[in-house]
Structure 1
Amino acid sequence: MAMRFLPLTDYLQVSRASSTLARNENGVIASIGANQPVFEFDGDGRALGLRIEGASANLLRHSCDFTHAMWEKSSGVTVQPNAGTAPDGSNTATQIDFADGAANLYQRVDNLASGTVHAFAIWMRAVSGTADITLGGVNGPSQHAVTLGETWQRVGFAEVASSTSRYPKISTVLSGAGASVLVWNAQLEASPVASSDMVSNGIPAARNGDDVMLDLTTGWFKPGGGTLFFDVCLPAAWQGIWRVMQLYSASLNDDHLDLGYDSAANQLRISLRKGGQQIVTQSLYGSLNPGTGNRLAIAFDDDEIAVATINGVLTSPGGFALPRNFSHLRIGSYGGASGFLNGYVRGLSYWPGRLNDARLLDLCAGGAA
């Protein structure tokens, strides 16, 4: 018998005070308005899922205008604006021609947090054939070799800034061979991994975080028992504690059922609070995989909670009564303020009852649709 899960897409409520950029099903990077959910696709038009990101900023100025004086260049480098179609569909790609030798193009960035990991990312492609390019400069003379083809790639690296002023740059220092490339939107963030594009024009560009909540007042949610299933795709790197799912009354300081992930311990953690008191706090041993999908299910009834991954099922000790006053369900962040998933959620679904452990395992293994 099929497990008829209720898809929850129609119940999503997304708050984000700014617009954002995302790749659509046609492979073009387009603007998504404030307070609109972001359903993103890869370069082949395959759905990645609902994107949930925290607030961030592109520390580079004039991120698409490589002719601006803030982008300094060595001899042997020429810059031609509006030379081709950019990833956003506009004719704003810039062609950079490097003569033979260690030529480079760079921008000075001040006020970096020394000792903090920064991620540099830029869209690039070879004008014809292939091109060997070096990216680096956040931490002095770093060298990151990139081989480009004739299709757009978003390439980059992450490393610790060793001082407060650095020069993210594009060069041919490793190959020493001349090259012609198209580029669009360079980005530098204080983050272990690059997030979605933010185009700056004169001042650093900023993006607000996604606060994703589901409306529990429309009758689909059954107090006291249920199963929630979702497939989360994590970033390639993360740091801190991020939120997976929270059911709560007024706030997480009150009655709640909270599932989160601790990157330092590499563990899922579940917490139950009732009447202002901590009832259950446990960890799921078994890591999640960065940069790829991870199926998770959380099932609950009046006296038990179960969390399942492909590694197994963790159940809480019995003897408590699950609160029935939950009125908020958030996915991937808490109130748009902390613990952002910085990844994708797919297959977000609900079953009005506590499925048994065998079904939870089957679901997480992909054997139940």
Structure 2
Amino acid sequence: MGLRYQPLAACMNVSRASTKLVRGPNGLLETRAINEPAYDHDRLGRRLGLMIEGAATNLLRYSMAFDNALWEKNSGVTVTGSTIPAPDGSQTAMQLDLPGSAAGADGLYQNVGELVTNDTYSFAVWMRAVSGTADITLGGIDGASANGFALDENWQRVWIAEPASGTARYPKLSTTITALPASVLIWNAQLEASPVPTSDIISNGIPAARACDDVRLDPGDWFAQGRGTMVFDLHTAKDWAGIWRIVQLYSASLNEGHLDLGYDSAADQLRISLRSGGVPLVTQSLYGALAKDSRHRIALAWDDDVISVGLDGVVLSSPDGFAMPRNFSNIVLGSFDGADKALNGHVRNLAYWPEKLSNARLSELSVV
């Protein structure tokens, strides 16, 4: 991951007031320290890019200790330890044996209160079959909902997202759909106020939180004020809600010189905005929907009196007739001022040129 004229790491600063779990190049989950960049990988060890996420909370208590009394069990359901390595390589996974029943409702569940009725929550858990294959059901956010998953002997993080049907719910692992016995390994369950689960957060008695990733580039000698081009190679999240940010360039505050590129998921549009001295100069919607869980290249280019954005080979430009601010001292990647409206995805690469490239070149650079 790097800039056109120097390595990105030379000017990148990451702040995060908590640790974070991501996959390492060995395919296992690894802890990233406070303020350490979270470079993520897939199960085979291939790099996905820099993961940038907003703050999140795991609403479940004892997310890994499934034998704790807070995890209630129907009759015949057992939870025991396991020596099979967990997704982080440790021996902290547990074995869940479900006897099956005529209704298939026997399972393991935790009572979670103070949910907001009709708000969307995601429930995720790492699972695999003890041997062979197994069918499992997740549910309990939207009443007696049932979502089936087929498991093999590889760890996978299965999840559902539904609106809460009440202020107290019981996220549950069962065999409701098949009503057949199943023996599975489980590790770190997570319930979030989000349409998609974020990276793992481990709780031990009380809900646990993870801080937002605040990722910034220091605009030193490499950065040209008044003009430039940035090309972002992104992989979007599996789902999203609200507005999230790709990049913000501003002076001492967001009300001063301010160039913003973001995505409004409700309107399904990329949007740019420009402020100078607290006065809006340009606010423009640009495109239709970005595909979820997909790779995209987005080019952002600016000069004294025009801003251009390229996506999928199409370039749109703002009306001209304004003077571009020349006092950008903050470059924030993937969040609103490092606090919220986060990307919740991966930045695979970022290229920079200290000039506004031609629309023809932007068209080429915005195609994956």
State the TM bucket, normalised to the shorter chain: over 0.9
Aligned pairs for 1:147-166 within 5 A: 147-166=150-169
Runs of 4+ in 1 over 2 A off after TM superposition: 3-10
With over 3 angstroms needed to count, the CA separation of the structure-2 counterparts of 1:314 and 1:158, relative to structure 1, is same
Equivalent residue of 2:361, what SS?
helix
**Pairwise mapping of residues 267-282 of structure 1 onto structure 2 (< 5 A)?**
267-282=269-284
Q: Is the 8 A contact 1:23 1:30 kept in 2?
A: yes
Q: Is the 8 A contact 1:7 1:349 kept in 2?
A: no
Aligned equivalents of 2:171, 2:215: Cα separation in 1:
34
What is the aligned counterpart of 1:245 among 224, 247, 254?
247
Q: Is the alpha carbon distance of 1:6 and 1:298 closer, same or farther for their aligned partners in structure 2, counting shifts above 3 Å?
A: farther
CA distance in 2, matches of 1:286, 1:141: 36
- Aligned letter for 1:122? V
Alignment match, 2:345: 343
The separation in 1 between residues aligned to 2:86 and 2:287, in whole angstroms, is 44
What amino acid sits opposite 2:254 in the alignment?
Answer: L
Number of the residue aligned with 1:25: 25
Deviation at 1:342, TM superposition (A): 0.7
Closer, same or farther: CA 232–142 of 1 in aligned 2, 3 Å: same
Q: Does 1:309 align with 2:311?
A: yes
Describe the superposition over 1:12-51 as per-residue Cα deviations: whole angstroms up to 9, x where unpaired. Answer: 1111111111111111111111111100001011111111
Q: Which runs of 5+ in 1 are unaligned?
A: none
Counterparts of 2:358 and 2:226, CA distance in 1: 15
Q: Is the 8 A contact 1:8 1:350 kept in 2?
A: no
- 2:195 & 2:12 partners in 1: Cα distance? 28
Aligned partner of 2:100 in structure 1 is 100
Query: How is 1:106-125 mapped onto 2 (pairs within 5 angstroms)?
Result: 106-125=109-128
C-alpha displacement of 1:10: 2.7
Query: 2:321 matched to 1:319?
Result: yes
Amino acid of the residue matched to residue 128 of structure 1? S
Q: How does 1:157-306 map to 2 (within 5 A)?
A: 157-217=160-220, 219-306=221-308
Q: Distance in 2 between matches of 1:135 and 1:311?
A: 41
The CA deviation at 1:309 is: 0.6
- Deviation string 1:132-174 (CA, Å, 9 cap, x unpaired) is 1000001210000000011000001000001111100100111
Counterpart Cα distance in 2 of 1:269 and 1:74: 50
For 1:140 and 1:167, how far apart are their aligned partners in 2?
9
Q: How many residues are treated as equivalent by the alignment?
A: 363
Residue 4 of structure 1 and its aligned partner are, at CA, apart by 5.2
* TM-score, normalization by structure 2: 0.96
1:7 deviates by: 4.6
Structure 2 unpaired stretches of 5+: none
Shift of 1:98: 1.4
Q: What's the secondary structure of 1:9's corresponding residue?
A: helix
Read off the aligned partner of 1:242 and give its amino acid letter: W
Aligned AA for 1:189? Answer: E
Q: 1: distance between equivalents of 2:127 and 2:180?
A: 17
**Is 1:65–1:81's contact at 8 Å kept on the other side of the alignment?**
no
1:66–1:81 Cα contact (<8 Å) kept: no
Structure 2 CA distance for partners of 1:189 and 1:119, relative to 1, 3 Å: same
- The C-alpha deviation readout for 1:185-241, integer Å capped at 9, x for no partner, is 000001010000001101111100011110012x11011221101112111211111
Aligned AA (1:153): Q
Secondary structure at the counterpart of residue 358 of structure 1: helix
CA RMSD of aligned residues (A): 1.3
TM-score between both structures, scaled by the size of structure 1: 0.96
**Take 1:64 and 1:187, find their aligned partners in 2: how far apart are those partners?**
9
Pair 1:137-2:140 in alignment = yes
